[in-house]
A = this chain, B = another copy of it.
């Protein structure tokens, strides 16, 4: 499989989502220009990205929405659903569990974990909350793919260690501290404060 950068993959996922919306409204053809308008990515960038996955468009006409979607999906997503586990069922953890966007995409929350006794055993939208110590067992049993850190920062490294121990291959870290893990484990940091602050800086230039 050809080497494709993370940025291209992210954009491909965006194209897939957009194509799905087009297909739903029975649109069969689309041009890179229109995709550009819908996604905010430049048309050249879109053609460059697509060309990495194969030659799938027809000059003068554009792309068949269904074909393009299939080609992109073959490269980036073959699985039925990606199974997620949330650690920390506070405000952010709960919001993630209820995030409506996941339903449409192939993302499924299959377990949640918390330390607070009063939360354990309860369910949110049908997803059971387990004590953190049950992590490794539940993660294996429920075949979790990715773990989400939504705990207070004091605990995030500890939770990350538990995730690594449980064999998770990817971690999304919403806590505002760096976590360390063996480099075979992929980590994505989403640091809300930094996003806000840097956007603000951008407005002052």
**Which A residues are closer than 8 A to B by beta carbons?**
1, 6, 9-10, 13-14, 17, 38-40, 76-77, 79, 82, 84, 91-92, 94-96, 98-102, 104-107, 145-146, 152, 169-170, 172, 176, 178, 180, 186, 188-203, 205
Contact = CB atoms under 8 A, between A and B. Distances in A.
13 contacts: A9-B198, A14-B191, A40-B178, A76-B201, A77-B200, A96-B192, A101-B176, A102-B193, A146-B196, A146-B200, A172-B199, A188-B199, A190-B190
B106 A197 contact: yes
This protein's copies in its complex: 2
A172 B190 CA distance: 13
A192 B106 contact: no
A53 B86 CA distance: 39
A75 to B, nearest CB: 9
A98 B79 CA distance: 35
Contacts of A188: 195, 198-199
Contacts of A152: 100
Tell me which of A17, A92, A178, A199 has the highest count of chain B C-beta atoms within 10 A of its own C-beta.
A199
Nearest to A3: B205
B193 A172 contact: no
Given A193-B105, A193-B107, A199 B178 contact: no
A194 B92 contact: no
A168 to B, nearest CB: 9
Contact of A39 (B38, B40, B178): B178
